[in-house]
Amino acid sequence: MVSIKDVAKEAGVGLGTVSRVINKSGPVKDSTRVKVEKAIKALNYKPNEVARSFKMQQTHSVALIIPTLWHPFFSKFAYHTEKELAANGYKLIVCNSQNEAEKEINYISMLEKNKIDGLITITYTHDLDQYISSHLPIVSIDRHFTQDVVYVTSDNETGGKVAVKELVKRGSCELAYLGSVSAIKNESVKRVAGFKKEAELHRCNYHTLVVEEPVKDIYKTVLRFLEDHPKVDGIFAMNDKWAKIIIRTLKELGKNVPQDVQVIGYDGITSSKDEELTFSTIKQPVPDMAAQAVQALIKIIKGKETEQKIVLPVTFFEGNSTRSEKQG
Amino acid sequence: MVSIKDVAKEAGVGLGTVSRVINKSGPVKDSTRVKVEKAIKALNYKPNEVARSFKMQQTHSVALIIPTLWHPFFSKFAYHTEKELAANGYKLIVCNSQNEAEKEINYISMLEKNKIDGLITITYTHDLDQYISSHLPIVSIDRHFTQDVVYVTSDNETGGKVAVKELVKRGSCELAYLGSVSAIKNESVKRVAGFKKEAELHRCNYHTLVVEEPVKDIYKTVLRFLEDHPKVDGIFAMNDKWAKIIIRTLKELGKNVPQDVQVIGYDGITSSKDEELTFSTIKQPVPDMAAQAVQALIKIIKGKETEQKIVLPVTFFEGNSTRSEKQG
């Protein structure tokens, strides 16, 4: 029976190269690819044998790069990623990048050397695009790379629209969006875009405060904004961290939440399974985002087709920072 | 030069077996061990060559077994473990056991097969003792196995004593300990032991409520206790989760915290680096626990001696649920 070794010998290349060509799982020069494909034809090497040989070479491990594990969103995402990987026979390697590109590049290099099978990244560092290749099995969360790297995101624009809809339905029409923006393109800018579109649709007044990251003192920024805009009666915050600070600051200013001002956050992540959400927010479908990222990655590892962009629906969670519809 | 292969050939065993004998890093039959040791002597195989050969075989990966990543204590511990491992050239594999022994045993088996170099476990499952061997490179957190497995813990007994000292210093002497207990022996039972000793030392009245896990409804349990013990003016909670519920329940009962009742928790873990502690608690030294666990594990992997029990000091964090010393 013809083996992958025979193909490698015939083509005059290494086993890893043959595997990458067959599985489209890594960078290969065009001339090399042609050599390998010729060898496969010449030897009449069969696909099911390919699958078996390839399987032998896999590490059955996938790395997840996140800024830090010590954070509710990332720890919840990592938790669900590990669950989904384990169910599919893969181990999870975790890397806290702490936004250091060097540590991230190191993992991309491990991937190129077939020391790991795939990579899921949540990253906001600069200059990573040149290292990321659409030939590598990589799935990105929220961030859009210039290369055609597959990415998974929650539906941020609809999230912004839903927040406005819920605020208006409950009686607010002097609206504000408060948040920050990173120099790295990511999907969260669509939250404010959705907010604006929907506010215009309802002919509501609206204000936006978008501060460049890193934000030194969110609290002071929020306080100044609220003092300058006393008429605002409905706020959409870029995430739950901002929402919590906004709610606290409103109370300090003697405003009643939700009677005087309604607030809706974004994320809807508690710090553990046992904890409950309290205030109103747009919930990201974290378990589904993790599962879909893993499923897309496994498809790429196995050389199958997958969608380039996976957008998952968000939901409104009704907490204690919005009024009931009747009250509104 | 004599190689590890020569030793394996001479002894009639595999390379992995020789490595396990040399590095005391895995289970080997006594008769096999004797054969390998004879071969080493016969060939005059040298230690520095051993170290080099062994290094070639390492995976440079360590697995961390925790009940779940989606939890402030475990995610913070995993964060610091990865940081310390990365600084020492090791990757971190994470396993959410969800208290399933089967998943844990699978990782112990990977360790036996040299697919990972070492294991750090935080586990509360039954019947694990038979799979854990002191010959394997394993470090346990909080839990004491019957085998001489190295373990790292915070100083729980002193934590209980410090809590009472701080409550008494601030004017409370009608004390209570509230918490749960697991069927699996772990170090947290020492918190209540320290509490009792110190309360007796100060001749304070004290009550303890220790409920068997799993606790169905902590809130109801706490409420009933507080209603039954209206005189209690100082409470030590087994952990911050209990402390939060106790503080909330006291407020619902119309009691003022800390003026009427002081409360001290245990853990002192926030859900992210940015968040701040608010109430008073005994802080576990999580960064140091992770670092010491990694350092001990690397010593074991390299066949060096290490302490069998590593106990790390806790500190009192003064938050808003205890009075100032002057007030007390």
pLDDT tens sequence across A15-47? 778 877 877 666 778 888 899 889 988 888 864
Give the chain B residue whose CA is nearest to the CA of A77: B70
> Taking an 8 Å Cβ-Cβ cutoff, which residues of chain A contact chain B?
61, 63, 68-72, 74-76, 78-80, 82-83, 86, 91-96, 103, 241, 271-274
Reported ipTM = 0.81
- Its CATH architecture, for the domain A156-284, is 3-Layer(aba) Sandwich (3.40)
Please report, rounded to a whole number, the percentage of residues in chain A having pLDDT higher than 70: 94
Run of H or E residues at B288: helix B286-301
More confident: B26 or A90: A90
Task: State residue A182's pLDDT score.
Answer: 84
Tell me how many residue pairs between chain A and chain B have CB atoms under 8 A apart. Answer: 91
pLDDT at A283 exceeding the cut of 80: yes
Average pLDDT in the A209-235 region? Answer: 95
A contacts of B63 (beta carbons < 8 Å): 91
Q: What is the pLDDT of residues B269-313, one digit of tens each?
A: 999 998 899 999 999 999 999 999 999 999 999 888 899 999 999
Please write down the HEC assignment for all residues of A9-33.
HHHCCCHHHHHHHHHCCCCCCHHHH
Q: Are A76 and B70 an interchain contact pair (Cβ–Cβ within 8 Å)?
A: yes
Give, rounded to a whole angstrom, the gap between the first and last alpha carbons of chain B: 74
Run of H or E residues at A212: strand A205-212
Q: H-type helices in chain A, by residue range?
A: 4-11, 15-23, 30-43, 47-57, 72-87, 101-112, 156-169, 189-201, 218-228, 240-252, 286-301
What is the spatial distance between Cα B295 and Cα B300, in angstroms, rounded to a whole number?
A: 9
Please report, rounded to a whole number, the percentage of residues in chain B having pLDDT higher than 90: 64
Task: State residue B65's pLDDT score.
Answer: 96
Q: What is the pLDDT of residues B201-260, one digit of tens each?
A: 999 999 999 999 888 899 999 999 999 999 999 999 999 999 999 999 999 999 999 999
B38 Cα to chain A: minimum distance (Å): 35
Task: State residue B53's pLDDT score.
Answer: 41
B contacts of A271 (beta carbons < 8 Å): 70-72, 271
Q: Is the peptide bond before B27 cis (omega within 30 degrees of 0)?
A: no
Task: State residue B246's pLDDT score.
Answer: 98
Q: Give A226's DSSP letter.
A: H
A135 Cα to chain B: minimum distance (Å): 24
Give the mean pLDDT of chain B. 90
**Sheet with B315-317, edge to edge strand ranges:** B205-212, B174-181, B234-237, B262-267, B281-283, B315-317
Phi–psi pair at B236, nearest 5 degrees: -110, 120
Q: Where are the beta strands (DSSP E) in B198-302?
A: 205-212, 234-237, 262-267, 281-283
Average pLDDT in the A224-238 region? Answer: 97
A30 Cα to chain B: minimum distance (Å): 33
Q: Are B93 and A92 an interchain contact pair (Cβ–Cβ within 8 Å)?
A: yes
Q: Where are the beta strands (DSSP E) in B67-182?
A: 91-96, 118-121, 138-141, 150-154, 174-181
Q: Where are the beta strands (DSSP E) in B103-164?
A: 118-121, 138-141, 150-154
Task: State residue A51's pLDDT score.
Answer: 47
Phi–psi pair at B179, nearest 5 degrees: 180, -175
Question: Where exactly does CATH 1.10.260.40 map onto chain B?
Answer: 4-47
Q: Are A68 and B273 an interchain contact pair (Cβ–Cβ within 8 Å)?
A: yes
Task: State residue A55's pLDDT score.
Answer: 47
Q: Which of A140-154, A272-286, B24-38 tops mean pLDDT?
A: A272-286
A112 Cα to chain B: minimum distance (Å): 17
Question: Which class in CATH covers the domain with range A4-47?
Answer: mainly alpha
pLDDT at B79 exceeding the cut of 80: yes
Task: State residue B305's pLDDT score.
Answer: 87
Reported as a pLDDT band with limits 50, 70 and 90, residue A50 is very low
What is the spatial distance between Cα B265 and Cα B281, in angstroms, rounded to a whole number?
A: 4
Phi–psi pair at B79, nearest 5 degrees: -55, -50
CA-to-CA separations, A85 to B59, B140, B172, in angstroms, rounded = 20, 25, 51
pLDDT at B74 exceeding the cut of 70: yes
Question: Where exactly does CATH 3.40.50.2300 map onto chain B?
Answer: 61-154+286-313, 156-284
Q: Are A103 and B86 an interchain contact pair (Cβ–Cβ within 8 Å)?
A: yes
Q: How many residues does chain B have?
A: 328
Average pLDDT in the B117-129 region? Answer: 87
Task: State residue B210's pLDDT score.
Answer: 94
In terms of CATH, what superfamily is A61-154+286-313?
A: Response regulator (3.40.50.2300)
Q: What is the pLDDT of residues B173-199, one digit of tens each?
A: 999 999 999 887 778 889 999 999 999
Task: State residue A328's pLDDT score.
Answer: 53
Question: Which structure tokens are listed for A324?
Answer: 């009931």
Q: Are A70 and B274 an interchain contact pair (Cβ–Cβ within 8 Å)?
A: no
Please report, rounded to a whole number, the percentage of residues in chain B having pLDDT higher than 70: 94
* Interface with chain A: mutation pick from B61, B69, B180, highest number of A CBs within 10 Å: B69
By Cβ distance, the residue of A63, A82, A96 closest to B69 is A82
What is the spatial distance between Cα A232 and Cα A163, in angstroms, rounded to a whole number?
A: 15
By Cβ distance, the residue of B63, B79, B103 closest to A70 is B79
pLDDT at A49 exceeding the cut of 70: no
Q: Are A94 and B92 an interchain contact pair (Cβ–Cβ within 8 Å)?
A: yes
B contacts of A284 (beta carbons < 8 Å): none
By Cβ distance, the residue of B80, B91, B271 closest to A271 is B271
Half-sphere exposure of B272 (CA within 13 A, CB side): 16
Average pLDDT in the A270-298 region? Answer: 96
pLDDT at A275 exceeding the cut of 70: yes
What is the spatial distance between Cα A145 and Cα A119, in angstroms, rounded to a whole number?
A: 14
B266 Cα to chain A: minimum distance (Å): 17
The rounded radius of gyration (Å) of the Cα atoms in chain B is: 24
Reported as a pLDDT band with limits 50, 70 and 90, residue A279 is very high
What is the spatial distance between Cα B118 and Cα B132, in angstroms, rounded to a whole number?
A: 12
Task: State residue B174's pLDDT score.
Answer: 98
